[in-house]
Each structure stands twice: as C-alpha cells, then as structure tokens.
A and B are shown apart, each in its own frame.
Chain A
Amino acid sequence: MPRLLARLAALLVFAVAATRPLTAQGAASPAAPAAERAPAAEPAHEGAAPQEGAHAAKEEHTDIITPHITDAHAIDVPTIFPPFVKEVELPRWAPVHVGSFEIDFSPTKHVVMLLLAALIVCTVLILVARSQARDHDQFGHAKGWAGGVEAMVLYLRNTVILPNVGPHGNAFVPFLLTLFFFILTANMLGLIPYGSTATGNISVTATLALITFVVVEVAGMRAQGMGYLNTIFFWPHDMSLGMRIPMFLIISPIEMVGKITRPFALAIRLFANMTAGHIVVLAFIGLIFFFKSYAIAGGPFVMAVAIMFLELFVAVLQAFVFTLLASVFIGQVRAAHH
C-alpha cells in the first residue's frame, strides 16, 4: 500500500509539472498551484479567445454525451488505427406507413446491440444448459460456469419468482428468466467499449414493459376469469346501490391508471437508470477536456472509474428489479380480489 501511495504521489508531481506548458497560456502566475490556475484557463476557453483558433471554437460546441446515449443509424466498430473507432453506416430502408403512422424499420445501433445481446444470451444459456445436463449425468450437479448460472437461475426461481407469482408459478419462470438475462446482457453491453446501452432507450424499455404488461394482464385473465374485470372496474358488492355507483365512477379510473402506471414505471425506471449512469460517466470524462489540465484530470478520472463500477452494479440491479417487479405484478393480478 505505501508503495502504491508513493507511485500515486510521483504521478501527481509529474502531472503538476506537465501542466506548466498548458497553463502558461492561461496568463496566470507560474508560481501558483496548478489547481488554482485551472479555473483561470476556463474563461479563455469559454470565450473562444481568438488566439486559440478555429479548433477550440469547434470543440466548444461538441456534445460527447448525446451521441453516446442516443440511437443512431451507424455503429462504432473497433479499428487498430487512431482514433481506434470507425463508424459503419447501417442500411436505411424507406419508412413504412401504417395507417397515419410512419414507421422506420431500418436497423439502428440499438437494434444491433439487442441482436448482439440476444445472440450472447442464447449462446451462453444454451451452452450452460448443455454443460449442466452433462455434468448432471456425470456428477449429479452442475460445475463451474454452468453451476454459477444455475445458481443464479435457481435463486431467481426460488426466492424471486415462485414466492411472488404464487401457486403454479412455474409457467412464468422461463419468461421472467428471459427478461432478466436479456436485460442484464443488454445493460452490460453498454458498459463494454464500442457498446451502446439499448436498455437506455425508451423504445426498448417501453416495449419490454408492454410485453410484461400483456403477460401480467393475460395471467390475470387466466387466473381470475370473469373476476379479472374487478381489477379494472370497481364494483363493491357489499355496498348499497346508491354508494356503489359513485364509488364505481370515482375508483374505476384510479384502478385503470394503476394498471397503466406499472408498465410505465418499469419502462422509465430502466431507461432512466441506464441513461443516467452513462451521462454521469461522460460528464466526468468531459470535465477533463473542459479544464484541459492534467492536475484536474485525476479527480474526474477516478470518479469516472468509480461510477463505472457503480454502473456494473446498477446493470445487474436494474435487470433484477425489472424481473422482481414483473413477478410481483403477475402475483398481484393473479391474487387480486376486490
């Protein structure tokens, strides 16, 4: 540990020394500490001083965050030449008119990421299932990677899905597990280089939430039959007719809004969580270029790394929360009796 501290200190000294030429044009006194001089450099940058030239003026308007968190009709592929990235344009198809809507079915970056996630998740889980079956025959239980995935699956099934979904919950296990692993993989793909977070796109999360909504409502219909209508229309049987009608008129809209709120919350939660983390990471990285100082760079850099670790956790957590809430909603609608 002391050795690491010594190295860090040496790095810091080097960084301060290296800032001198940078800050020299900031017109501050050379003796002042680098950290104090950095803000002094800021107005010069902000104001697009003429001596900084067209390059600085162009950079000023650069938004590195929005392209990263939004969809595009191009994907970033790695190359060995600087800047180590190449934009590959995806094919554009003519929009299709469905009624009054115009839908563009051309593949986008997030479609590619979703396909990649689908490919990864299918490959990994099918291989796991195979190796698990083999190990099961040979040793009676799964080993290694398959054992780990099996433990995750079993954890989700036994402590998240089955207790929440209620009796005969096994029918919902494949759907909810698919949700978890698909969202998890899509979340993770946003964290690797050249990746993009498809689950940070409201269209993707809204679709997943809509699928969940349909599953929840169909589960309610199958479990309750005609009683399902009671989860939409409030019609209390233990009240007099005089009370029942006003109660119906007041409470029914609330029930309906409650139904719609769930998928809405699911979609917004996942979208906002995945987007926010990336914005924070990029904001920290942006600070480095904003201040143009090696002395300042260390702080945002460490923070960006820390936020990346937090993002790893959030990627798992949000996949888990989506699955958990879907299980809870299914359980609620199946058990509901008003």
Chain B
Amino acid sequence: MSRMSSRLVAALTLVALTAAPAFASEGEAQAPVNLLAPNGGLMFWTLLIFLVVFAVLAKFAFKPLMAAVEARELALESSLAQAKADRDAAAKLMADAQAALDASRREAQQLVADGRAAGEKLKGDLLEAGKTQQAELLERARRELNAEKERAIVELRREAVELAIKGAGKVIEKNLDDATNRQLVEGFLSTIGPR
C-alpha cells in the first residue's frame, strides 16, 4: 500500500515538474501562433539530424544487431536441419537394425527347424537301419540254422545208414552183398524220413 502511494506521489511530482517550465514562461508576451507554419531552419536541422542518426545507427547498431540475429537464425535453421537429418539417420539405422534382427531371428528359426528335421531324419534312418540289420541278422541266423540242420540231417542220415549197414553187416555178414543191402536199407529209411 505504501509502495502504491509512494508511486502515486512520484507520478504526481513528475506531472508537476513537467508543467514547471510552462509556469516559468508565464508573463511572456503572447502573439497568436500558427502551429502549422513550417520553419525552414528546423526542417533543415531535422533532416540533418535524422540522416546522421540513420547513418550511425545503420552502421553501428542495426548492422551488428541484424548480423547477430541472422547468424542465430541461420544457426537455428541449420541445427533444425541437422536434427532432422539426425532423426532420419537414426530412423534408418533403427530400421536396419530391426531388419537385421528379423533376418537373424528367421535364420535362427530356420536353423532350429533344420536341426530338428535332420534329427528326426537321422533318428528315422537309424531306426530303419537297425530294423533292417536286425532282420538281416535274424535271416542269416535262420539260414545258418537251416543249413546246419540240413547238414546235420544229412550227416545223421549217413551215420544212420552206415550204422545200420555196419550193424546189419555184423549180423548177416556173408549172405548179403553190400549193394543190394544198401538199397534195401535206403528204401526203408526213405519210408521213415522226410526224404
């Protein structure tokens, strides 16, 4: 509040002082004045003063002022352009990185899929091979077994024939000749064997 009133006092003082010169000129002889009458001398001085002010200000005030302002505007524009370029570059880099990431992800997926497929195939192959081998082994064993059996049968038959012949020979040594006896026995044997 006191600030306000002190401001008021200051303003009023100012007004009073502004008017002071006017009071001072009281009492001067007053002739009617024409406010619109131009004064050549004053016009000349105005022209001179204005031109000098213009020259001085243009050279020493506005030129550096504008230079600094324009430099700032230029810097602002260039930094804006730079920022835009940087942003574009960053976006491009980002896109590249994303693409690379996608590619590597696809590749990894491909690798995994490939590996799985290869594993499956290998497993299948191994199983198949095992089965075949097993079958072959079985087959071979069976074949060998059969061959052994054949041989054993043949052997047994021969043994039996010989034994029978020996036995019969012992029993009926003289009467009977070998060839007819053999025929007889073999004929008998064929009635009892699968042959």
Contact = CB atoms under 8 A, between A and B. Distances in A.
Nearest to A204: B46
B100 interface: no
B45 A125 contact: no
Given A107-B45, A202-B35, A203-B39, A65 B65 contact: no
Given A67-B22, A87-B25, A305-B11, A173 B40 contact: no
A121 B47 contact: no
A71 interface: yes
Contacts of A52: none
A177 B56 CA distance: 12
Interface string B32-65: 0101111111111111011111101110111111
A98 B46 CA distance: 18
A237 interface: no
B59 to A, nearest CB: 9
Q: Which 4 A-B pairs have the closest CB atoms?
A: A193-B17, A125-B61, A103-B40, A174-B58
Nearest to A119: B53
Contacts of B5: 4, 7
B2 to A, nearest CB: 9
Nearest to A177: B62
Interface stretch (A31-39, A42-50, A55-63, A219-227): A55-63
A129 B60 contact: yes
Nearest to B30: A63
Interface in A131-174: 132-133, 136, 140-142, 150, 153-154, 157, 170, 173-174
B49 A115 contact: yes
A318 B66 CA distance: 24
A216 to B, nearest CB: 15
Given A98-B40, A204-B42, 10 more contacts: A4-B4, A62-B27, A106-B41, A111-B45, A121-B57, A174-B54, A178-B62, A285-B19, A308-B14, A308-B15
B179 interface: no
A217 interface: no
B20 to A, nearest CB: 5
Contacts of A105: 41, 44-45
Contact of A4 (B1, B11, B44, B68): B1
A211 B28 contact: no
Interface in A74-97: 76, 83-85, 87
B21 A76 contact: yes
Contact of B46 (A126, A191, A207, A308): A207
Contacts, number: 199
B26 A84 contact: no
Contacts of A304: 15
A266 interface: no
B54 A282 contact: no
B50 A182 contact: yes
Interface in B54-82: 54, 56-58, 60-66, 68-69, 71-72, 75
A324 interface: no
A175 B64 contact: no
Contacts of A98: 40
A181 B57 contact: yes
B61 A128 contact: yes
Contact of A70 (B33, B43, B44, B52): B33
B35 A132 contact: no
Contact of A103 (B18, B21, B41, B57): B41
Contacts of A285: 15, 19, 22
19 contacts: A63-B30, A70-B33, A71-B39, A71-B42, A76-B24, A98-B40, A105-B44, A122-B57, A122-B60, A122-B61, A125-B62, A174-B62, A174-B66, A178-B50, A198-B46, A202-B38, A203-B42, A207-B43, A308-B14
Nearest to A192: B18
